[in-house]
Structure 1
Amino acid sequence: MCGIFFSARLNDAPGASIFEEISQKLQNANSTRGPDSQGLYRASVACAPDSPSPTTPHAFSLEFYASELRLRGDRIIVQPHEKDGDVLCWNGEIFDGMEISPQENDGVCLFDKLRTLETPEQIRDLFGSIEGPYAFIYYQANSRRLLFSRDPLGRRSLLIHKPSQVAPYLLLASVSAGVDSRYEFEELPTNHIYCLTFSHAHLNFQEVFNSYLISLPRLSSFPDAPTTPFAEPSQVNTILPPHEYIPQIESLGEVPEYLVKTVDDLIYHLDQSVMLRVRDIPQRSHVPIAEPIDLLNVAFENPRKIKLEAEGNTGGLSKKQKKARSKAGPSVEQPSVSYNVPDRITGLQEVEELRRLCPDRVWNFVEINVPYEESQGARQTVESLMSPGRTVMDLVRQSLAIALYFASRGVGQIRSSPGADPEPYTSGARVLLNGLGSDELLGGYGRHRTAYNTGGWQAVIDELQLEIDRIPTRNLGRDDRVISSHGKETRHPFLSLTVLEYLAKLPVHYKMDPRLEIGFGDKMLLRLAAWKLGLIGASQRKKRAMQFGSHSARMGGERRGDAILE
């Protein structure tokens, strides 16, 4: 995980001191993502004049900054990567498509490969041949081209401020420094590789940007183009189940014959995906048995929930009953704070299942308890990290942001055995595995059942395709910014493009069956695989969003989802 930042401005543009302040502010914001090393590289690019006889030649001032979290290779690397004027700021991991030994750094290998390429199309095709989460900024000195993009699923954050009349500079950054009138960031779309050529220096940088920026589609239109298996997410299999198809599963413990190989294949693909995401972390192999695994479990003190539990649900009371209760005044006995939230209860149950299956492994169940005042004190920081998301919907409806913030910080307590007194503990893990993607790919949401009830299997297929199409514009960039603020990196085994392709190509009725009960038919294939691996309890649990399971949702009461955060 790295923090990357780039800026470009005309040398003779006004406001140099203000721009320097903005640049430093954004460098500081991106430095927390990479605690191991930080680096800065500056370049000046003289360009053709915008008039036949200019008084002074115009030039662009370019600035490249990167902070590094070392997760690959046998030594710490200082970014940006630079040689002969070529510069790469790399925030990503290459898990497939390029041979990289455990001793090598993927950013170094990628930079070496990029320097052998000449055209933007060749560079586009290179990125279409590698799999992994990434965001990059690459400057090619001889052509004066700047190329930048995110991976097709948007698993890494990259924000852009486009030059404007009032803010005439280009900014690219992993994370902003919160709301500031001097820039207006937006998430960079994932469906193109962007290329800006610094060929002419008009006095108006906005015109330069609009005239010389090209957007390369991820896939080449030429028939003889090289193979790029990771250029775009796969499309969903559109074949409908046989008309006479009826549910053939009576128990998760009995895999029907037609799904035996599919269950085994899913286990294989997920095992490979996890292996690729953990094996080359420095000084670690594919999770040796002697290495503990931290299970981060976050619970919030939510006054609204505590009051509801103490007083009961007043929504069903009559006006007379509410008035009587109000006259009686508050209870003298204050309700006690309990962190026994739904996710804590099921988490404790599941860790015992894991200990039973792998008794030689140390499983650290990290109880991360967040008092109300502490969560409110972190709100401004979290909102800044979420930026450019600025609505209550970002923080409340998807209250994952604040839950992920405290979970990734990893400060909590562990117990040596069930019932033992807790001991303070801070997780030192730098890589966090996240299960995001399973619901989207395997039909785990209630809307998939609704789709079937309203439009049959075809509606389910259409909804599953929409799920894949929406992944790049959902919350991955936001989650990346929040989690990485603690110098941690999140990795998504289900969102490997290889796993995605495998699941997308399966017939819909192999993955789910909305005719079966909740907790059985939703994510049916995954539940069968979990049962086969011995995760009996986990295989039968119903879906519950983290913000509700941890009680991070609606701590401040009801607010409109599109209201702007103050």
Structure 2
Amino acid sequence: MCGIALVLSGDQLVVAPSTAAAAATSGTRFPDEGEGVSVGELEEALRRRGPDSLGRHRLHLCADGTILGDGTGSDHGDGVGGGAGATELCFIGATLQLRGAEPVSQPLVAQSGNVLVYNGEIYGGIDIGKDQNDTQSLLSSLESCCSCGLRAVDSDEAYPCCETVGKSVPQVLSTIKGPWALIYWQADSKTLWFGRDAFGRRSLLVHWPTPDDSRFILSSVSPPSLSGNNSATEVTGLESGADPDISGCIKVSYWEELPCGIYNIHLKRLENTATCMEEGRVVEVRKHDWTDSSLHTLIRWERKSIVPTPSVPSSSSVDEDNQQLSPSFRNLRKVEDSTSIGLEKGDLPNCITQSVHRVLIALRESVMLRTNMNRLYEGDLNKLKDEELAPIAILFSGGLDSMILAALLDQCLDSKWTIDLLNVSFDGQLAPDRVSSLAGLKELQRISPLRRWRLVEIDTDLANLKGESEHVMSLIHPSNTYMDLNIGIALWLAAGGDGWVNGQDGHRYKYKSTSRVLLVGSGADEQCAGYGRHRTKYRVGGWVSLDAEMRLDVQRIWKRNMGRDDRCISDHGKEARFPFLDENVIKTLLEIPLWEIANLDEPAGKGDKKILREVAKLLGLQEASFLPKRAIQFGSRIARESNRKNFGSNRAANQASAGSVEVHKRNH
């Protein structure tokens, strides 16, 4: 996990989604200097995400595209250097070192002048050795890229063909399997590239130029100074003719979630390529298509088999108790004691369907990829000589998703390591998630008695979290509803891992988890019909309506969930990894008929996320396989406490639709 940022500023330089749109800003005067966030504030916020190193690199460009100078810059001041007409690019990188044989500091600057700040992991698409660093390997791949991807920007100038020189930047980025956000300077073409993966698993915020701050800024997180005020600053006409994803972000607040995708800004020969305006020079931000066809399939999230045919009913078989079961899950009681998983198809009993088997294998591979510790990380752990050290933890409710992750992690992680199970409660031992986590711990101890499991009970009272709540409010920004804040606080506290553990001798002791990698169950509900609204859609519109709602959930998860969650978890210098959102897991689930994924004619705790419940049974998790869905804000009971504090009662909160109420509109 890293924190990355860029500040692009210049003498009367305006960055806009398109020149056609930017022409509409001719009546808006942009100041010469930014009046918003400072580079120092960005660095301080990013340092919490990447505590191992912090670096800065500045580039100064003349209007004709020549570089006046470059360097790390001073520790103070945010002004533009290089004289009149110069443009400055300030790259910032804070690193949490987890992969690679040697420590690596960002920004990475190549001999060619290319500059990269990267926040992500590469699990496929680019070859990376066990002891290699993701960022270095990616920079090496990007160094070989040609400028073919710029043809749409500069059609009057010829560029080398990528077939003879190398792939384009969009082609390289489209092949990456895994979460990422990056900012990359391609020196030979004077082009700035930036973006985030197709599911937005890593945060990247954007500040579009406004009358109050004319700079173009990208950052993993918002500093507190500019997240407290979420008021809109409009720039008239910017959305006209612009990219629809970008244009929707222009006039809401200082920071916005950057929509998933690959973007660039071409700064070569600004006097020719920039649209000249009385108030300044306008350069375009262009969005590029993903070039990998398999990735396009995942983004469209189209399932071939949605509605059961008469020959394939969604619920047609009967078990020993005459309970209706779908054809996918016949006779599973015969294997309820199957606690070990064969990696080959032949190792599994014939009664286990191919669909459940495929999902299980895909999830196991996903967890394995995300929990392999390379030489650097494991070496640092061994130096501590703590036999109970836990390098990887799980955000743990004891529910279906976290129990599956725990059981799979147990199979993937060397038995010498302890696994921390992080559980947060705002109602002590009475919160539903605390009750299920204690039951889940017992079930995990039953299926894997030799593993050291450590349940970390993180107890708190919302009334005592004034400063913490304000800090989390800055992290969730630009999200700003009570639901976002409640989820953010619960995630932030859980990721911190500061709680209590019940020892084997019955002694309860204070403990703070040092795990730097956290597994999180995000994406399971969206892909497997786990939300109550899915049941409602199915009841009203059948299978087609259910499929449409699930597709909507997956396609908007970047804006509703992932950026917010990434910022809250990583604020502790920890890295969230999402096995359910692995590309191959998504692909596998899409290839399975919808009626095998879920059967919402059956009750809650049985028909929702049905395929995952069968995976849980195959893992030996019999009790967890019947647990109903509970969102973290309800399972931890922070929503109840928040409703009482801010609305007087749960009833009043429900009447006010408290979850969607914006925090800054009330006295918080």
TM-score bracket, normalised by the shorter chain, equals 0.7 to 0.9
**What is the CA–CA distance in structure 1 between the aligned matches of 2:572 and 2:314, rounded to whole Å?**
49
State whether residues 31 and 213 of structure 2, in contact with CA within 8 Å, keep that contact through their aligned partners in structure 1.
no
**What is the CA–CA distance in structure 2 between the aligned matches of 1:289 and 1:195, rounded to whole Å?**
46
**What is the CA–CA distance in structure 2 between the aligned matches of 1:266 and 1:205, rounded to whole Å?**
59
| Alpha-carbon displacement from aligned partner over 1:150-209 (angstroms, at most 9, x marks no partner) | 10000000001112233111110000113537981111001x311101131678799645
**What is the CA–CA distance in structure 2 between the aligned matches of 1:386 and 1:255, rounded to whole Å?**
42
The Cα shift of 1:405 comes to: 0.6
State whether residues 182 and 194 of structure 2, in contact with CA within 8 Å, keep that contact through their aligned partners in structure 1.
yes
- SS at 2:124's partner residue? coil
**Does residue 44 of the first structure (1) align with residue 60 of the second (2)?**
yes
Which residue identity is paired with 2:301? Q
Aligned length: 511
C-alpha change, 1:415 and 1:38, in structure 2 (3 Å) is same
| 2:93 aligns with one of 57, 66, 76 | 66
- SS at 2:115's partner residue? strand
The aligned residue for residue 308 of structure 2 is 241
State whether residues 121 and 178 of structure 2, in contact with CA within 8 Å, keep that contact through their aligned partners in structure 1.
yes
| 2:365 aligns with one of 258, 266, 272 | 272
**What is the CA–CA distance in structure 1 between the aligned matches of 2:620 and 2:480, rounded to whole Å?**
43
State whether residues 168 and 206 of structure 1, in contact with CA within 8 Å, keep that contact through their aligned partners in structure 2.
no
Point out where structure 2 has 5 or more consecutive residues left out of the alignment.
14-29, 66-82, 150-167, 234-252, 320-324, 334-349, 380-390, 392-411, 648-652
The aligned residue for residue 142 of structure 1 is 188
C-alpha change, 1:517 and 1:27, in structure 2 (3 Å) is same
**What is the CA–CA distance in structure 1 between the aligned matches of 2:606 and 2:42, rounded to whole Å?**
47
Alignment of 1:110-509 (within 5 A): 110-119=138-147, 121=149, 122-178=168-224, 180=226, 184-190=254-260, 192-199=261-268, 200=270, 208-209=281-282, 211-219=283-291, 227-230=292-295, 232-233=298-299, 235-239=301-305, 240-244=307-311, 245-247=313-315, 248=317, 250=319, 254-255=331-332, 260-281=353-374, 282-283=377-378, 286-301=412-427, 338-395=428-485, 399-417=486-504, 420-509=506-595
Bigger mean CA deviation after superposition, 543-552 or 115-124: 115-124
State whether residues 308 and 314 of structure 2, in contact with CA within 8 Å, keep that contact through their aligned partners in structure 1.
no
Which residue identity is paired with 2:5? F
**What is the CA–CA distance in structure 1 between the aligned matches of 2:624 and 2:512, rounded to whole Å?**
26
The aligned residue for residue 332 of structure 1 is none
Which residue identity is paired with 2:591? K
- SS at 1:283's partner residue? helix
- SS at 1:413's partner residue? strand
The aligned residue for residue 309 of structure 1 is none
The Cα shift of 1:456 comes to: 1.8
State whether residues 253 and 531 of structure 1, in contact with CA within 8 Å, keep that contact through their aligned partners in structure 2.
no
| Alpha-carbon displacement from aligned partner over 1:261-320 (angstroms, at most 9, x marks no partner) | 11111110000000000113521894100100000010114xxxxxxxxxxxxxxxxxxx
Point out where structure 1 has 5 or more consecutive residues left out of the alignment.
50-55, 220-226, 302-337
C-alpha change, 1:66 and 1:19, in structure 2 (3 Å) is farther
State whether residues 234 and 500 of structure 1, in contact with CA within 8 Å, keep that contact through their aligned partners in structure 2.
no
| Identical columns (%) | 34
- SS at 2:465's partner residue? helix
The Cα shift of 1:372 comes to: 3.2
Which residue identity is paired with 1:186? E
Bigger mean CA deviation after superposition, 528-537 or 172-181: 172-181
C-alpha change, 1:283 and 1:450, in structure 2 (3 Å) is same
The aligned residue for residue 10 of structure 1 is 10
| 1:78 aligns with one of 105, 113, 116 | 105
**What is the CA–CA distance in structure 2 between the aligned matches of 1:204 and 1:376, rounded to whole Å?**
47
Bigger mean CA deviation after superposition, 14-23 or 401-410: 14-23
**What is the CA–CA distance in structure 2 between the aligned matches of 1:260 and 1:420, rounded to whole Å?**
43
- SS at 1:465's partner residue? helix
- SS at 2:217's partner residue? strand
- SS at 1:157's partner residue? coil
Q: TM-score, structure 2 length as denominator?
A: 0.72
**What is the CA–CA distance in structure 1 between the aligned matches of 2:172 and 2:318, rounded to whole Å?**
44
Q: TM-score, structure 1 length as denominator?
A: 0.85
- SS at 1:90's partner residue? strand
C-alpha change, 1:242 and 1:15, in structure 2 (3 Å) is closer
**What is the CA–CA distance in structure 2 between the aligned matches of 1:291 and 1:98, rounded to whole Å?**
29
**What is the CA–CA distance in structure 2 between the aligned matches of 1:154 and 1:12, rounded to whole Å?**
32
Which residue identity is paired with 2:583? L
- SS at 2:353's partner residue? helix
**What is the CA–CA distance in structure 2 between the aligned matches of 1:537 and 1:20, rounded to whole Å?**
53
C-alpha change, 1:238 and 1:168, in structure 2 (3 Å) is same
State whether residues 54 and 94 of structure 2, in contact with CA within 8 Å, keep that contact through their aligned partners in structure 1.
yes
**What is the CA–CA distance in structure 2 between the aligned matches of 1:470 and 1:242, rounded to whole Å?**
30
State whether residues 425 and 459 of structure 2, in contact with CA within 8 Å, keep that contact through their aligned partners in structure 1.
yes
| Alpha-carbon displacement from aligned partner over 1:404-454 (angstroms, at most 9, x marks no partner) | 01000010111123x812111110101110111111111112222222221
State whether residues 60 and 87 of structure 2, in contact with CA within 8 Å, keep that contact through their aligned partners in structure 1.
yes
| Alpha-carbon displacement from aligned partner over 1:218-274 (angstroms, at most 9, x marks no partner) | 24xxxxxxx553355352314321135151364778249786111111110000000
- SS at 1:297's partner residue? strand
State whether residues 59 and 89 of structure 2, in contact with CA within 8 Å, keep that contact through their aligned partners in structure 1.
yes
The Cα shift of 1:98 comes to: 1.6
- SS at 1:229's partner residue? helix
| Alpha-carbon displacement from aligned partner over 1:479-506 (angstroms, at most 9, x marks no partner) | 1111111001111100011100110121
State whether residues 164 and 206 of structure 1, in contact with CA within 8 Å, keep that contact through their aligned partners in structure 2.
no
State whether residues 10 and 32 of structure 2, in contact with CA within 8 Å, keep that contact through their aligned partners in structure 1.
no
C-alpha change, 1:530 and 1:356, in structure 2 (3 Å) is same
Which residue identity is paired with 2:616? A
| Alpha-carbon displacement from aligned partner over 1:71-110 (angstroms, at most 9, x marks no partner) | 1111210000101321001000001112211210010000
State whether residues 179 and 387 of structure 1, in contact with CA within 8 Å, keep that contact through their aligned partners in structure 2.
no
State whether residues 147 and 189 of structure 2, in contact with CA within 8 Å, keep that contact through their aligned partners in structure 1.
no
State whether residues 12 and 281 of structure 2, in contact with CA within 8 Å, keep that contact through their aligned partners in structure 1.
no
- SS at 1:378's partner residue? helix
- SS at 1:28's partner residue? helix
The aligned residue for residue 315 of structure 1 is none
Which residue identity is paired with 1:47? A
The Cα shift of 1:57 comes to: 5.4
- The alignment's C-alpha RMSD in Å is 2.6
